Structure 1
Amino acid sequence: MNSSWFRKLLLSYLPVFFVVVTILFFVFFQSLNEQNRKEAIKANEFLTQQIVLFTDNSLKTLNYQVLRDTLTADELRFFFGSDNDDVYRNIQATELMDDWKMNNPIIDSVYIIRLKDNFVLGDGSGQAADFVDQPFIQTYINQKVTAGKWTGKRSFRPYAVEKPTDVITLVQGFPHFSTDKSGYIVVNVSLSKLKKSISPMYNPKLTYVRVTDEQGATLMSDSGADGENSVLSHYISPYTGWAVDSGPTGWGLAHVALHFYNIWVIIALVAVLLGVFWVVHVTRRNYKPISQLVSLIRTSALINPYKGQSGNNEFGFIQGALEQLLEETSKSMQQNQEAIILRKKHRFQEAVEGIVSIRESEWMADLLALQVNPVGAHAFVLAIEIDRYHQFIETYHRQDQSILKFVVSSVTGEMSGLRDATTWAEWITDRRLSAIIWVPDDADGEVLSGQIGEQIVQWVQSNLSFTVTIGVHGIASNLEEIRRSHEIAGNLLQYKAVLGTGRLLRPAQLEGSEQRVHDYFGTIHGLSQSIRIADGAWQKHIEDLFSQMQDSISSRKEIESFLQFLHQQLNRVFLELSKDYRSVWKDSGAELLELGRSWETLDELKQGCLRVFEEMASKLQALKDSQRTRAVISDIRTFIEENYHNPELSLDYLSDQFMIHAKNISKLFKEAYGYNFVDFLIGLRMDKAKQQLLTTERSLQEISTEVGYFNYNSFNRAFKNVAGVSPSDYRKQQTS
């Protein structure tokens, strides 16, 4: 590729550069314009809120002044109480209306109408029959419209010859709190004056304001209010219900600026489309010579570097061909290596587990083919197992587990190599590694097996966060003996529950152990019976059971069978008991089963069993105590029902009778029946008293003594608290 082609490519993409810069400018101006739009909306929202606040406060102030004078002004009271001949009262009322106009410049006109003589005073004074505004006020006189609220926009003129003005009106009846009205006070507010009072808040050349009433009629409006498209802010007065809209006027600079952001977006999209078109055009033009060159290469190529790819990379055609060749070679080598590893592991399991019959000659040929070169004719087998494997898989990620297992396998090979031994080790299960170790002919295999096994155990314990237990057996001189050693070494790991974890196990450690099955069954039977009656002897049975398993060096399978038998025995025992006892056993039995799946050593199992049985015995004892307590409380209630007439009956009295502390009686009584002793005793005595009041003619004093009250006043007070009436009134009510 020469320099002229470079310059050609450089110049061909310069327009794209300018397009990108142009788009950035458009984006900048559009963002700036959008920000200005948001600020304008915020300013208009503030303006409409201020206009609503100003108009509401002005109208509220005027309404309050009129209402206050309606309630307190003597001028109005005297006016409505006089007639049209009382000039002095008319002058006083006129001065009051003038005072309203002085304090509220937005008032256009005020008049008062007195109903008894239909006299109108104020703007348009005279008789109501000749009054121009008579049709409006007549609706209030007829009570078709409720007084005290501002009306919408209407036209008003005091005299027929005058020009009408647009006003909103407040009508108050007099008296205010009476439905029988003596007259009405009418206050008209000029919309033009109200508009002038809010005009200084904004510039009408830039912003318009439109105010409409609840029916949508326009009260005040500026030029430029051209509909909803110009509305930037809309606010409704909570007092009058008027809606205030504001926005930019006409098509001035501000209006255009606020709406021009759509044009920016369109321009930017057009620029993007032009840029895309230009890039495609230039790419096609520059691609043509490259395509011709690659076509020549493809016609002579014997491999396809794009196999499995979604697209073509012409510039990397040759590189892709080489990469494909290297990739296929690497993949083939990897697959071959994986096949060897899997074949080697599979052959190892067939050999040591006796899955298939293998002659000795085939065995030696396999060792040679799998590049295992025994240093001698004799070998021993190590069965290496990770302790507490459940904790191991919970602690480490799957990838970390594989790495740690590889470390254990490598350490086994290295420790054997330090003794000039040859190792073939494979993970036959998730937690167990089996290793065949061939030792030199002049070496002591028994001693060497112990040394290598101990070194592996110590290294793992010192350098890793878990431990391994190793079963070892040897020496074997042929495949059949290797299989037997592998089986014995694996079986030794069954005894690590008793012999301990993180150590080397040999067959000699099992010598001298004696197992007596009937002893286990007898101990388990005694344990189940002790648990059933919740006495303390169960702890001794637990100790005896685990001592027997420890002394006889029981395997894990044997211990699991004893544990299963214990669970079955307890299940049969508790099936004979009540539902409450079975519920306790259900929870404890589930814990016992869970413990049977997670224990590692006999000591861990023992501690877990002690914890489970301790909790179960505690619950059973509490259940028995609860049953005894319910029986005692039932006896106490029966005693109270039989001796309620005894005036000495109290918690202390019951404590002496039943040898239980008074506080405990009160607490247990409340828990058993939901109410305390005193309430129960009073309720019982009052029930007996009601029966005697209705069925006997005994005196109240006799009945009081009969139900346990020597003092009649105490009886009367207690009866009244329960029944709501005195005993005598109760007898009268029920017998009448």
Structure 2
Amino acid sequence: MKSSWFRKLLLSYLPAFFIVVSILFVVFFQALNEQSRKEAAKANDFLVQQAIRHADNSLRAIDYRILQDILGSAVLKDFYRAEAEDVFVNLQADRLMDSWAFGNPAIDSIYLYRPRDGFVFGDGSLKTEPFRDAAFLRSYLDGERPIGQWSDKRSFQPYAMSKPAEVMTIVRAYPGFSSAKTGYVVVNVSLSKLGQELASMYDPGQTFIAMSDRSGQSAIGPRLDGGELVLAQYVSPYTGWTVSSGPTGKGLKLTLDLYSVWLVLALGAVLLGIAWVVHVTRRNYRPISQLVSLIRSSSLVPQDGPGADRNELGFIRLSLEQLMEEMKRSKQQDTENRLLRKRHRFLEALAGGAPISQAEWESDLERLGFEPRGRTAFAWTLEIDRHAAFSRAYSAHDQAMLKFVLASVVTETVQGGGGAAWAEWTGDRRMSAIVWLPPEAGLDEARRLAAEASDWIRDNLAFGATMALHGPAGPLEEIRRSADIAASLLAYKAALGTGKVITPDRLGSGGSPLHDHFGTIQQLAQAFRTGDPGWRERLRSLYAQIRQSCFSRQEIESLQQVLYQQMDRMFLELAKEYWTAWKETEAELLALDREWEALDELEAGCLGALERMDARMSELRDSQSARSEIAEIRAYMEENFGSPELSLDYFGDRFSIHPKTISKLFKEQFGENFIDFLMGLRMEQAKRMLGEPSLSLQEISRHIGYYNYNSFNRAFKNHTGMSPSDFRKRAPRPSAG
């Protein structure tokens, strides 16, 4: 029987086989056409990118030139400050606009507008009423359109007799960075000129480029009505205009259309072959499939389960075994997923993402073994302190075990106080719990139990945890609100410290003193910049104010950013060395911002970083002071080089600088070491004195600081290559007249 089925199936599949092979040949040849289409699309894609880049660069160049003159041109300053129509100022402004248009051929027209007296200068200018472009300009003055953004395509007609031109416009306000605007610069770019620039980049007979503005109006090139073949399309990130490109000829489109027809036919043939195979297979196997379907439906065995590839008798024998195995797996899976379903229900109830009525909530609690009726509910939130260190210290398995221990501690502590707790981990470091206590228990009892659990964690585990609680609460909506408040309270552990129990009353009721935190920060930055040792006291004062204000972590981080910004402004005014030192310290502080957890840690880390910065600034100040004293040392040597006392030790004692520091700075500042410079001064004076015959060599030696003539003779010979006596013989004699 199996052999007969094999022959029937084989003969049934052969027609489908020949159809598929034929289609493969057709698809192969059509793949060549598809490759051609991809190459054309790639070329058009490159062309569109180049067109966008060219257009954006042209428009950016115009905008940059206008901004440059707005920020630095005295002509615009004089024009917008003029009290009346000043011919000379207008002439200067006209020359400036001519220079803009000359440098950018795409510019169609320019005019300047002065709101103070409504004066318009340029195309469509002067006092002609009405001003034809007033409505467009008013849209910028009223804030309907953003200043500095290129407009959509529009028609501009400066004079009644002139021909309207299609342009895109940019409006810039004067002055550039001031809220008080005294004037506006309006530049219109001709779309036809811009299109001519783009036309030089491609062959219009083979390819088209079409550009439309943000509203979809056709601005440059042909209007796309859906009949064109668009192979590439991009949106300019600068103007927001859309540029499209494709072939102009019909050949490629016809080829692609034929390709689509052949592809549809090929897919149709393949689907027909598949349908034929399915039909033949079902017809030949219908009796067996009916029997197998009946057995499977009666025994609830999946079609792809064990035994599906065996003969009918084997399948019947294994059907009961499969059913029993499936029931066993289902029961085991249900047991494993029970905790997950419980956690999901907990998160769903607290998050409020799914509508849960109070009756459903109480039913779920009773099903899970909780009895909320007659009890007071509180929301607890526990967070592991220094979670980064916790994650590094323990493996994933150990972390899971420790989290289970924390949940058990909370549950057992509450049960010891006569209550019940439902605790679930809602994040990597955070656990939420709903605690039901006896009706007579209040917030103090809930706080006592939370403190007991916190103490156990601190005494028995190698890490700590901070807890926050809020309540009492009754219905589910109140429990959700209490859970949200408890979670938000953890943000204040930065100021209150870790390992504590936080309740709303610990935050105060607004009676804490008001502090000028920004004033303290400014005083701190000023004192630190000037090297005032009192900056440390101001830093401690800042963090003391933060503690008294009981700020959240987000508020503390905001104050830290203000401190960094104030420091930036202070050090921008100093030398480069101080700025570089501050940026290194700032990087250290920013790294600290990602790691600190309690305010004490932040204060200690900030103090340490600023201490190191202060030491570095002291070194820089000492170095600068020493450099000025090196100049004094040189001046003293030039006036007293004949003193035999001159030496590094002498100047070290005189100026209180280490001799090695003098030698090093002298070399760095003058490019010559101390000894060579001193010898050079003495030898040059000796050369001048050797030209006087009346002076003896011993007198010259003593005059320049050498009491021992032999030392002078040796030093002079090393410096000049000859002895003093030989130098005197060769020196020219002064004339006797």
TM-score norm. by structure 2 comes to 0.51
8 Å contact from structure 1 (residues 423, 435) kept in 2: yes
Q: Which deviations, in whole Å up to 9, do the C-alpha atoms of 1:686-709 show, x marking residues without a partner?
A: 355457779999875565456443
Partner of 1:362: 360
8 Å contact from structure 1 (residues 381, 474) kept in 2: yes
Partner of 1:405: 403
After TM superposition, give the deviation of residue 658 of structure 1 in Å. Answer: 4.0
Partner of 2:346: 348
- Residue 330 to residue 725, structure 1, CA distance change in 2 (3 Å): farther
RMSD of aligned C-alpha atoms?
Answer: 4.0
Alpha-carbon distance between aligned partners in 2 of 1:401 and 1:451, rounded to the nearest angstrom: 27
Partner of 2:37: none
Q: Which deviations, in whole Å up to 9, do the C-alpha atoms of 1:253-286 show, x marking residues without a partner?
A: xxxxxxxxxxxxxxxxxxxxxxxxxxxxxxxxxx
Q: Which deviations, in whole Å up to 9, do the C-alpha atoms of 1:487-525 show, x marking residues without a partner?
A: 221222222233232222222222245456651111111
Partner of 2:625: 628
Q: What does residue range 687-698 of structure 1 map to in structure 2 within 5 Å? A: 687-689=684-686
Q: What does residue range 61-140 of structure 1 map to in structure 2 within 5 Å? A: none
After TM superposition, give the deviation of residue 581 of structure 1 in Å. Answer: 0.4
Alpha-carbon distance between aligned partners in 2 of 1:470 and 1:342, rounded to the nearest angstrom: 24
Partner of 2:675: 678
Task: Confirm whether residue 586 of structure 1 aligns to residue 583 of structure 2.
Answer: yes
Question: What residue identity is the alignment partner of 1:536?
Answer: P
Task: Confirm whether residue 493 of structure 1 aligns to residue 490 of structure 2.
Answer: yes
Partner of 1:255: none
Question: What residue identity is the alignment partner of 2:415?
Answer: G
Question: What residue identity is the alignment partner of 1:558?
Answer: E
Q: What does residue range 193-592 of structure 1 map to in structure 2 within 5 Å? A: 332-333=330-331, 335-337=333-335, 339-368=337-366, 372-374=370-372, 376-441=374-439, 443-514=440-511, 519-592=516-589
Q: Which deviations, in whole Å up to 9, do the C-alpha atoms of 1:34-58 show, x marking residues without a partner?
A: xxxxxxxxxxxxxxxxxxxxxxxxx
8 Å contact from structure 1 (residues 379, 445) kept in 2: no
Alpha-carbon distance between aligned partners in 2 of 1:335 and 1:666, rounded to the nearest angstrom: 83
Q: What does residue range 694-733 of structure 1 map to in structure 2 within 5 Å? A: 704=701, 707-729=704-726
Question: What residue identity is the alignment partner of 1:439?
Answer: L
- Rg comparison, structure with higher value: 1
- Residue 406 to residue 657, structure 1, CA distance change in 2 (3 Å): closer
Residue aligned with 1:405, SS: helix
- Residue 412 to residue 576, structure 1, CA distance change in 2 (3 Å): same
Alpha-carbon distance between aligned partners in 2 of 1:658 and 1:547, rounded to the nearest angstrom: 43
Alpha-carbon distance between aligned partners in 2 of 1:437 and 1:334, rounded to the nearest angstrom: 30
Q: Which runs of 5+ in 2 are unaligned?
A: 1-298, 311-317, 733-737
Q: What does residue range 633-648 of structure 1 map to in structure 2 within 5 Å? A: 633-648=630-645
- Residue 379 to residue 726, structure 1, CA distance change in 2 (3 Å): same
Alpha-carbon distance between aligned partners in 1 of 2:511 and 2:713, rounded to the nearest angstrom: 84
Partner of 2:183: none
- Residue 656 to residue 433, structure 1, CA distance change in 2 (3 Å): closer
- Residue 522 to residue 355, structure 1, CA distance change in 2 (3 Å): farther
8 Å contact from structure 1 (residues 350, 356) kept in 2: yes
After TM superposition, give the deviation of residue 477 of structure 1 in Å. Answer: 0.8
Alpha-carbon distance between aligned partners in 2 of 1:464 and 1:703, rounded to the nearest angstrom: 87
Number of residue pairs the alignment of both structures matches: 429
- Residue 659 to residue 390, structure 1, CA distance change in 2 (3 Å): closer
- Residue 400 to residue 694, structure 1, CA distance change in 2 (3 Å): farther
Question: What residue identity is the alignment partner of 2:570?
Answer: V
8 Å contact from structure 1 (residues 378, 438) kept in 2: yes
Question: What residue identity is the alignment partner of 1:550?
Answer: R
Residue aligned with 2:716, SS: helix
Alpha-carbon distance between aligned partners in 2 of 1:691 and 1:427, rounded to the nearest angstrom: 94
Q: Which runs of 5+ in 1 are unaligned?
A: 1-300, 313-319
Question: What residue identity is the alignment partner of 1:543?
Answer: R
Alpha-carbon distance between aligned partners in 1 of 2:697 and 2:319, rounded to the nearest angstrom: 120
Alpha-carbon distance between aligned partners in 2 of 1:458 and 1:620, rounded to the nearest angstrom: 46
8 Å contact from structure 2 (residues 689, 700) kept in 1: yes
8 Å contact from structure 2 (residues 626, 657) kept in 1: no
Residue aligned with 1:458, SS: helix
Alpha-carbon distance between aligned partners in 1 of 2:611 and 2:332, rounded to the nearest angstrom: 58
Question: What residue identity is the alignment partner of 1:405?
Answer: K
- 554-563 vs 621-630, which moves further: 554-563
8 Å contact from structure 2 (residues 380, 433) kept in 1: yes
Alpha-carbon distance between aligned partners in 2 of 1:659 and 1:379, rounded to the nearest angstrom: 75
Partner of 1:608: 605
Question: What residue identity is the alignment partner of 1:474?
Answer: G
After TM superposition, give the deviation of residue 481 of structure 1 in Å. Answer: 0.8
After TM superposition, give the deviation of residue 652 of structure 1 in Å. Answer: 5.9
- Residue 566 to residue 327, structure 1, CA distance change in 2 (3 Å): farther
After TM superposition, give the deviation of residue 308 of structure 1 in Å. Answer: 10
After TM superposition, give the deviation of residue 614 of structure 1 in Å. Answer: 1.2
Q: Which deviations, in whole Å up to 9, do the C-alpha atoms of 1:185-220 show, x marking residues without a partner?
A: xxxxxxxxxxxxxxxxxxxxxxxxxxxxxxxxxxxx
Alpha-carbon distance between aligned partners in 2 of 1:643 and 1:482, rounded to the nearest angstrom: 90
Alpha-carbon distance between aligned partners in 1 of 2:722 and 2:640, rounded to the nearest angstrom: 26
8 Å contact from structure 1 (residues 574, 581) kept in 2: yes
8 Å contact from structure 2 (residues 376, 441) kept in 1: no
Partner of 2:108: none
Question: What residue identity is the alignment partner of 2:520?
Answer: T
